[in-house]
Structure 1
C-alpha cells in the first residue's frame, strides 16, 4: 500500500472505532483525503497519523483560507483534524482556531420567515410538480421539520395523526434527526385542524406511493434526497427562502403562540429551542437566528439585537420583585456577546 493509502486507512479505522453516522465518517474521510494530498504535494509523509507535524496543519489551514473557503468550513476542518489526532493518541487542543488566526464564523441566521402568501405560492408550485412534495413542504411548515426529517417522516405519519386526534399536543420526531437526538415537537394549536388535514392527506398519499412522500430513481435514501433538493431549486426555494426558511416560519409563529398563552419570555426561548431540536440550552442561538424577526416581542430579555442571557434576566426579575419602583438595573454582560 502507498503512504496515502496507509495514512487514510488509519484515519478510517480510528473513525470506525468512534462509531457515528455514515455521513460523519464520509465527511471525515473527504476532509483528510484533501489534507493528506496537500502534505504529499509538499513531500511531508509522516509514518503515523499521530506524527503529523504541526507546521503541516498550519500550512494547510492557511492554504484553505487563501482559497477563499468560508470560515465555518475552515473551522470544521480544524475540528476534524484535532479529533482524528486525539483518536490516534495525540492532543493538539492548544492549536485553537484563535491561535491559528481563523476568523469567527457568522452564526446569524441566513434565512428568514416566509410570509403567508409566499408559503401558499411555494406549496402551489410544489403541487403542480409533485403532490408528495407539496405535502412535505406543509409538514415542514406546520411541524418545523428539517429537510431530511420531512423526507423520512412517512413511517411516522399515522402515529402523529393518532397522537393529535387523541388530544396530544406533541408528536415524536425520531427519523432523520440531527445528531441522532429524537425530540417531541409541540404542534401549532391555532393550526391543529390544518395539521390533522395535512397528515391525513399525507398518509393516504403514502399508501398509494410505496409508503414514501418522495422517491428517487433508485430505491435509496440518497437518490430520494437528491431528487428533493432538485425540487426545491425548481420551485425557487433557495437563498434566504430555501427549505430551512420553513423552520424559521414555524419557530416565529410558535414563539408568538407561547407568548399569547402567557408564558414567560425566557421559557418561550427554551420551549422553541426544544421544538426545533436544538435542546433547551441554546436559547441565545434560537433568539438571534430563528427569532430575529420578532425581537420586539422579547423586550424583557433582548437589548437591540442582543440576548441578555438567563442569569442577567433573573437578576432583573429579582430586583423588580424586591423594589418594583426602582429603575436601577444590575449590569452584567451575557457570556456570548461580543462588541
Structure 2
C-alpha cells in the first residue's frame, strides 16, 4: 500500500517506476515532504518511511540515511504521558459499561487487554480464535498474530502466566459470539473493515475511552502486567524489555522506547542507569548479510553499499527493454 502511493507520486512528478531499484533517494525525500505537507501525523509518517526502507533494502538499496527523521529534521511522535495502565477496578467498570452499551465491543476490549492486541488486530482476529484456543489447551502460551498486524508484520504475543484462565475465557466467549457472524466481532454499516473500525472507534468514544484511558491503555495494562510478572520471576531487566518489545510487535530492539513509554509507571523497578543494546552504535553488516533473504531482519537492516553511491537516473530508463543476454529487472508488481 505504501509503495503504491509512492509510485503514484513518482508518476505525478514525471518518473514512471517499472522496478523497485529505479527509485532514487531524492524521490523518497520529496515523497516524505509531500506527506508532511498533507499534515500526516509523525507516527503515521514513520510507518510509511519504515515500509519504504524495508522494500528498498530487500531490493538491495539502503535508503536509511536519506530518509532518517533526524537528518530531515522531522517532528518526532510524542508518546510520553499519552496513556497509562488501567487498574483492575477500572477494567471491571469498563467491561460493565460496555456490556450494557454494546456486547460486541466487550470481546474486543477483553482480547486487547489479555493479549496486548492493537485495536485493528483485535477487530480482525476472529478467524484466529480457534487456533489460539487450541494452542493454549496444548500448553503453548505463544500465539501468532497475523491478521491486522501493523504494516503486515506477523508477530507472536504471549498469554500472561497468571491470567491463562481469563484469556481462555475471553477467547471462548469471542469465538461463540462471532462464529455465526462470519467471524466478525464488530460489523460496520457498509460491511467492510473501514466501516467496522469506524463503528468501533465511535463505541470507544461513547464509553468513554479517551486520552490516557483510550483503547491503547489496554495494551499498556498488558505490558505492565507482563513486565511485573517477569521481574518477579527474576528475569533480568534487559531481557524483560527485550521480550516485552517482541510480544507487543515492536521487534526485539525497541527496548528503550518500551521502558520510557509502556513501562513508565513501573520505571522504579528498573535500574536508574540501564545500558540497553539499542543505545549502541549499530555494527556494519557484510555484503552477504545485507543480501541474504533468509537472514535475521536485524542483520539485514544495513546495506553493504557506500553512502555516497550514485544511482543511475530513473528518467530515460523508463522505456528501456531488456536485451538478450542481460538479466531482467526484478518487477515489483
Normalised TM-score (structure 1)? 0.66
After TM superposition, the structure 1 = structure 2 runs for residues 149-228 of structure 1, keeping only pairs within 5 Å, are 149-228=121-200
Name the structure 2 match of 1:232: 204
Name the structure 1 match of 2:283: none
Q: Secondary structure at the match of 2:181?
A: coil
Distance in 1, Cα, partners of 2:190 & 2:16: 40
Please state how far the C-alpha of 1:309 moved relative to its aligned partner: 1.4
Match of 2:119 among 139, 142, 147: 147
Deviation per CA, 1:132-152, whole angstroms, max 9, x where unpaired? 210110010000001111011
Please state how far the C-alpha of 1:225 moved relative to its aligned partner: 1.3
Q: Alignment RMSD, CA only?
A: 4.0
Name the structure 1 match of 2:264: 292
Native 8 Å contact 1:28 1:80 kept in 2: no
Native 8 Å contact 1:82 1:93 kept in 2: no
Distance in 1, Cα, partners of 2:15 & 2:277: 49
Structure having the larger proportion of residues in helix:
1
Query: For structure 2, which runs of at least 5 residues remain unmatched after alignment?
Result: 281-333
Relative to structure 1, the CA distance from residue 216 to residue 26 in structure 2 (aligned partners, 3 Å threshold; closer, same or farther) is farther
Query: For structure 1, which runs of at least 5 residues remain unmatched after alignment?
Result: 1-21, 37-44, 314-339
Native 8 Å contact 2:86 2:217 kept in 1: yes
Name the structure 2 match of 1:248: 220
Please state how far the C-alpha of 1:215 moved relative to its aligned partner: 1.0
Q: Secondary structure at the match of 1:277?
A: coil
Please state how far the C-alpha of 1:25 moved relative to its aligned partner: 5.0
Normalised TM-score (structure 2)? 0.67
Relative to structure 1, the CA distance from residue 26 to residue 116 in structure 2 (aligned partners, 3 Å threshold; closer, same or farther) is farther
Distance in 1, Cα, partners of 2:137 & 2:51: 45
1:309 aligns with 2:281: no
Please state how far the C-alpha of 1:191 moved relative to its aligned partner: 1.1
State which structure, 1 or 2, has the greater radius of gyration over its C-alpha atoms: 1
Relative to structure 1, the CA distance from residue 296 to residue 25 in structure 2 (aligned partners, 3 Å threshold; closer, same or farther) is same
Please state how far the C-alpha of 1:76 moved relative to its aligned partner: 7.0
Native 8 Å contact 1:75 1:102 kept in 2: no
